[in-house]
Chains A and B, each alone.
Chain A
Amino acid sequence: MLYYIIRRIIIIIPLLLILSIVSFIIIQLPPGSFLDTYVSTLKLSGTEVSDAEIARLVKLYDLDKPLYVQYFTWIKNIVLYGDFGRSFQWNRPVSQLIGERIGLTMLISILTIFFTWVIAVPIGIYSALHQYSIFDYIFTFLGFIGLALPSFLVALLVVWGAFSTFGISVTGLFSAKFINAPWSWAKVIDMLKHIWVPMVIIGISGTAGLIRTMRANLLDELRKQYVITARAKGLPERRLIFKYPVRIAVNPLVSTIGWMLPGVVGGEVIVSIVLNIPTTGPLLYGALQSQDMYLAGSFIMILSTLTVIGTLISDILLAWLDPRVRYGGMRE
């Protein structure tokens, strides 16, 4: 098991390296240098930038050196000082801005995955046990619609529906009086009242996919001989199904976290833009619109890194649950 974990961690190191290069390329993509944009933005807002300040920034990020040196300086600053560069739009360090918001993104993503599971697994089991029944068809049809609905459109429709029928606003994550308040018990309660809206919206397409996987897995298991044997032995149907096939059918679902996570994080970004939730989405969107590239590139990198780590955790979980994966990994 330890060997498996170490092997997996070694694999993601080159992955993270490529990620950082891609993010750096994204930072460099827009025309014009970061410094020019930074200085001109500050001048527009009426702040004069001294030559000494410019020289300090050039030295800090090695902006006068070739690109690969800039890249290594960028990485060095991140690893050693946790410095991701500066956002000229906010005139603050990128790490501060991201730190404030990344937690909520992760929270919503994880809650969404749990929500998806809680909804999809029972429905999947039901559909498999009652294959071709009315409800199976209904769930299959709803699943198709769920897959076809782009999450940002659902968000838009929900906001519109809530606004036009109940006259309430479901945007944001906190009530007005809590927005700038420090964290407290009351604020957490208030957040929980709002957080289910993005959670449900982001979860829709994932739920649809998961129901189909769960249904197919369980159907495969139900056809196996051990089920017939157990039934022949006279095991009560309910105990038989929940004790053996369901447990085996749920196993591969753990690995679905791996492919669900990128989708959920991406969905979170786009839904939070529409719903105006104070997570990474709107900040990334704003950064991209004003070409605030240190902020945007760092966002891509951190979001991707966390996704990769999440996938790693789900793989380890799966190996722990299912010895076949563990030993399959050893043989290679």
Chain B
Amino acid sequence: MSDFNTSLNYEEEREEERTEREERFYLASQSQLIWWKFRRHRLAMIALPLLIFLYLLAIFADFFVPYNPETRFPAYLNAPPTKIHFFSKEGGFHRPFIYNLKRELNPNSFQLTFTEDHTKRYPIRFFIKGESYKLLGIFPTNVHLFGTEEAPIFLFGTDKLGRCLFSRTVYGARISLSIGLVGVFLSFILGVILGGISGYFGGTVDEIIQRTIDFLISIPGIPLWMALSASLPRDWSVVKTYFAITIILSLVGWCGLARVVRGKLLALREEDFVMAARLVGASEWRIITRHLLPSFASHLIVSITLSIPSMILGETALSFLGLGMRPPAISWGVLLQDAQQVIVVAQRPWQLMPAFFVIITVLLFNFLGDGLRDAVDPYAR
């Protein structure tokens, strides 16, 4: 008898617990539900903080890098990445330090090679004073996250002009990472407006916009991008080229967004709540902005996240070919121009470091988009 009682109690308790959970579920706002679902996607939960970190790196580039990206070190042309040591040659343990690099002529291959000069240790110092800069373009300071005194430190080696590749890569993130956002913002505006018109009004307008999208999707993007960006005047300033390239990239990018918007609008405008709004006498504009847009905003965010990578890859490919951004602008694609020849890559593989950043960024955006896609439909199982 008592056995039966306890098990009954147990059942009741579980029932209570479950209803409590269910209640919490039913009472939760949509954004809360999305967050709960999103949290379960492990890769996306890793990707989000890493992406935020990458963007912080780009914004505060001057602080995170030891040198100005244009500073040349004539004694260190094509130097390999500096090795960071913890143990000296004598065997003692020290705080992280580096050795200076000595340039020598290899008697066999007649090539300049670098060897470590073990006579003196140069410790890596944090929050070191170095070249002065303006943080965020406002606050003048000269504190860098890390650096060394005397012997320079090159985490990713140097390029053919003796510039620090690590500093250049971090600076390059500014253009490479922002071009995705700006480009997607442009495609977003185009996509929402044109897709919205197309889906809401239908008829001839819809037909014309749909055929335009069919047309833009059916032509190979890369050759078209190449042709358009090749015809940009060479004497344009960096800022002008930047925006021109962004516009070129978003010319094709808006199509996907417009399709999402149109599809969702077509489905939603038949819903009861739209009819109700119309009966109350709400204007078309109010129905679109207050009732329709919020109901598929989450789907838009997913499409946006998933279209950022193609923008970043597009810019990198164009700049790599020398048709996109050009020096003195620094982007990952521009940095990879130096790695165009196999011979160069074979001798100085560290020139490929920016490529690593491109791949990681695109990967992270894909993970994030995947997680968001699973999360935006919190009611779906």
Measured CB to CB, the residues of A under 8 A from B are 11, 14-15, 18-19, 22, 26, 29-31, 144-145, 147-150, 152-153, 156-157, 159-160, 163-164, 169, 171, 258-259, 261-263, 265-267, 269-270, 273-274, 284-285, 288-289, 291, 293, 296-297, 299-300, 303-304, 307-308, 311
Contacts and interface: CB of A to CB of B under 8 A. Distances in A.
Contact of A31 (B233, B323, B349): B233
A159 B341 CA distance: 10
A300 B223 contact: yes
A303 to B, nearest CB: 6
Nearest to B339: A156
Given A303-B219, A304-B223, 5 more contacts: A26-B227, A156-B340, A273-B321, A288-B323, A296-B227
Interface stretch (B136-144, B164-172, B268-276, B362-370): B362-370
A273 B223 CA distance: 12
A263 B219 contact: no
B323 A159 contact: no
A303 B317 CA distance: 19
Contacts of B355: 153, 156
Interface of B: 211, 214-215, 217-224, 226-228, 230-231, 233, 309, 313, 316-317, 320-323, 336, 339-340, 342, 345-346, 349, 352, 355, 358-359, 362-363, 366-367, 370
A50 B122 CA distance: 70
Nearest to B362: A148
A200 B313 CA distance: 19
B215 A269 contact: no
B342 A285 contact: no
A285 B358 contact: no
Q: Which 7 A-B pairs have the closest CB atoms?
A: A266-B222, A29-B231, A288-B230, A148-B362, A266-B220, A304-B219, A148-B363
21 contacts: A15-B211, A22-B224, A26-B228, A144-B366, A144-B370, A145-B363, A156-B352, A159-B345, A160-B345, A169-B342, A262-B217, A262-B218, A262-B219, A262-B220, A266-B222, A288-B323, A297-B227, A300-B227, A304-B218, A304-B224, A311-B218
Contacts of A152: 317, 320-321
Nearest to A23: B227
Contacts of A304: 218-220, 223-224
B218 A26 contact: no
Contacts of B346: 160, 163-164
Contacts of B362: 147-148, 150
B218 A15 contact: yes
Contacts of B215: 15, 18-19
A288 B362 CA distance: 28
A269 B313 CA distance: 15
Contact of B223 (A15, A18, A30, A266): A266
B220 A150 contact: no
A14 B215 CA distance: 10
Contacts of A299: 223
Contacts of B342: 156, 159-160, 163, 169, 171
Contacts of B366: 144, 147-148
A258 B218 contact: yes
Contact of B363 (A29, A144, A153, A311): A144
Given A148-B362, A266-B223, A291 B230 contact: yes
Given A156-B345, A163-B346, A300-B224, A150 B233 contact: no
Contacts of A144: 363, 366-367, 370
Contacts of A31: 233
Contacts of B224: 22, 300, 304
Nearest to A301: B219
Contact of A307 (B220, B233, B336, B352): B220
Nearest to A144: B366
Nearest to B355: A153
Contacts of A164: 346
Nearest to B323: A288
Contacts of B320: 152
Nearest to A151: B317
Nearest to B214: A15
A189 to B, nearest CB: 26
B321 A263 contact: no
B372 to A, nearest CB: 15
B317 A270 contact: yes
Contacts of B358: 150, 153
A297 B230 CA distance: 12
Contacts of A265: 220, 223
A160 B349 contact: yes
A300 B226 CA distance: 10
A19 B227 CA distance: 14
Given A163-B342, A163-B346, A307 B321 contact: no
B220 A269 contact: yes
A332 to B, nearest CB: 11
Given A160-B349, A288-B227, A150 B222 contact: no
Contacts of B321: 152, 270, 273, 285
A289 B222 contact: no
Contacts of B336: 153
From B227, B323, B349, residue with most partner A Cβ within 10 Å: B227
Given A26-B231, A148-B363, A160-B345, A289 B221 contact: no
